[in-house]
Each structure stands twice: as C-alpha cells, then as structure tokens.
Amino acid sequence: MKLKARMASAIIAAAALVTVGLITAPPAASAQLTEVTGFGTNPTNLRMHLYVPDGVAARPALLVAVHYCTGSGPAFYSGTEFASLADRHKFIVVYPSATRSGSCFDVSSPQSLTHNGGSDPVGIVSMVRYVQQRYNADPERTYVTGASSGGMMTNVLIGAYPDVFKAGASFMGVPFGCFATTDGSSWNSTCANGQLIKTAQQWGDQVRAAYPGYSGARPRMQIWHGTEDATLRYPNFQEQIKQWTNVHGLSQTPSLTDQPRSGWTRTRYGGTGTKAPVEAISLQGVGHSLPQGGMAAMVIDFFGLSEGGTDPTPTITPTVTPPAGACQVTYQMNTWNTGFTAAVTIANTSTTALSSWSLAFTLPAGQSVTSAWNASISPSSGQVTARNVSYNGAIAPGASASFGFQATHGGNTGKPPAFTLNGTACTS
C-alpha cells in the first residue's frame, strides 16, 4: 500500500510539472491509438484518442475523425480506414469521443452552433490546438470528417470554425443548423426526416451568422448520402449542397457530373477537379451505413492528403496498397442452423510488401459477428472492416495472412459480394 501511495504521489507530481510547463508530456506512442487527457478547454468532458503513424513529417497534416451515435473514438478507429491511410500518407488522426448518454455529439444547442460558444465543438477545437502545438501539425492542412452524428458535427465545425478547418467530408450528415433546438433537447425529428427545407440563401445565412464578421476563406466540403437512409433521410443531401454552394458563392448547377462507381452519382461545384469547392456523392439504394470500403480514400484525395505535403503537384509516395487485382481473398464458411464460422485468407499477389492491412466487406442482411481471431472486426454487421492485430500486419509479396470469425445469421448464409484491401478492390 505504501508503494502504491508513493507511485500515486509521483504521478500527481509529474502531472503538476507538466501543467506548469517544467517538463514535457511524452508524445502518443507511435503507430498506436493513445488516449490524451488535459488537452485544453473541454466543457463537455469529451475524450480524445490520438493516432500518430511511424515516420510522420516535421509538419504533418491533421485529420479529425468523428464517430456516430453509440460509437466512440476507438470504435471509429477500428471500423474505418482512416488509420491505415494515415500510415500510408503520414498524417495524424484525432478521434474524439462523446460522453453524454447515447454517445451523440451536440449539434443542436445554440452554444455548439456559435463560434467559441461552448459545448462539444470547443473541446474538439482544443484537441486540434493540442496536436498543432505538440506535434507541429500544419494549421493549413487541418481537416474533419465524420459519420451520422459525426457527419452532422463535420457540418457544424466547418460552419462555426472556418478559421480552423480547411475542408470537411460529411457521411450521412445534415446542414449546419438543421438540428438546432432551444429547448435543451438534442434530437430534431423535422430535420432528421428531411422535412426542413430552406433556400440556399437561408442555409448560407445560418453559417455566416455562426461567426459574425468572419471574412476569410471558407472550408471546402464533400457530402456523402445514401438514397435509402432511414435515419437521416436523403433530402438532407440536397439541403447540404444548397448550403455549401451558397457559402462559397456558387451556382447549384454542377460543373461536373459523373459516376465513379456503379450506383454512385458524383457532382462537383465551382470546379471539375478532385479538390473542387463542393463535391457531393449520392449512393443509390444505400442506407444509413457509411462509410463503406474505399470511401475513406476518396475523402483523403479530396483533402489533398494523398499528394503528400503542400506542393500542388502530386508526388510519388511509398505505397503499402497493392494495385487493383493484386490481392486475392479466400472466404470459407461452416454454417449451422443459427450461426457460422468464416475462415478468411488474404493473399498479396503483388510485388509490393504490405506493412498493415484493413479488409472491408459487407455482411449479408441478418449476419452479425460475435467473436473474431487474428483480426479486430468492427462494427458487427453491415459494412465491416477487419484490421490486422499486432503480429500479422506484414504480408510479403506472394505471402498471405489469415483470420476468422464466428457469427449468427437469420437464415441468410450468403457470402460477402466483394472485398477491398486498404481501399483497393481484391479478386475473390
């Protein structure tokens, strides 16, 4: 007990020295998700997790990745491809965690919708400032993305803090201010159901009112939404387009319309290139289940993080992702009346070694993972991502890695239709 007391006293003393600046807090462990405390003003007691890849540059870019309701920063880390993309392109990722009941972020209160007004956005901005100070992160390359509640928070942050974020990418979000309430509640059914329709000017005015007097550049915006979203319904997609084209002073007539994949319709406003001021991707037949495999890589392209550095000329960077068709997945099932096990093998058929892997696939309806080995899998159903564990991340050319999982089913014993490895399609 005396030893424990002395250890506790030493920890408290060290924390006090950090507070007054007499010693420097150690950085987050490289290539590990690390929780950071005491990062600055945090009125709603958000938690902060930080991912710093090996070999980060002296002036790295920073991405804030914001989770969905019921989620957490670690869950969003495990269930999305942003960390593996950070390994490849050498940017830092911050994963905030909401702590209120339901684990949703505040996107509705007057405080959250006002620059420096308080609530969750202030805590998230404190996380950004912390990383900029401790890791010399580049304020000119600071971005935010999120899904569902995190997609709504992405709209809030680029609306109220255009001086902090240079671009945002919202999955399944709603316009800035759409969820606004004044009665203390956090849910706005009218907005969620896609029934809050305004003119582009009205939506733009809401953003401008969040930071009166601001005259600087406005963040670019990428918007993703499925046509069958039953939680934050599809009309919110067009309302976001109206809002952000107005904020940028653009026409709602696209400069480019194309279909990067079957069922996807992409429109760009104010430019035809990858970094247009506003880009929107509509996903036919897709519900409230984003992002899916490969989408994170398109977010990184939109931000310009795949180019490496601030030079507008793309540079060639080392890759750990095989080219299309240079990976093969074998998926074997053993089924019984209510469940099954799956044995999965990833073969690296390219000439490039993998240092880590993230395999995304969609489980058929009714299937749900209950346990896994040799990989972490998140979420448990729908679009899932299996990530390597500490001992099996490396796959040499011609070699393979295997993992497995147990799952339940409701009668559908089909196999996933496709697989993407680190954002690239595999044969199966």
Q: Which residues carry out catalysis?
A: 148
Give the containing element (helix H, strand E) for 180. Answer: none
Determine the 3-state secondary structure of 340 from DSSP.
strand
Q: Answer yes or no: are the C-beta atoms of 162 and 211 closer than 8 Å.
A: yes
Element counts in the chain: helices (H) and strands (E)? 9, 19
Is 204 in a helix, a strand, or coil?
A: helix
- Start-to-end CA span in the chain (Å): 58
Three-class SS state of 133: helix
| C-beta separation of 154 from 144 below 8 A | yes
Q: Could you give the CA distance from residue 131 to residue 63 in angstroms, rounded to a whole number?
A: 10
Q: CA 153 to CA 105: how far, in whole Å?
A: 7
What are the residues facing 186 on neighbouring strands? none
Give me the sheet containing 264-269, strands edge to edge.
33-36, 47-51, 92-97, 62-66, 142-147, 167-171, 220-226, 278-283, 264-269, 256-258
Strand, coil or helix: 88: helix
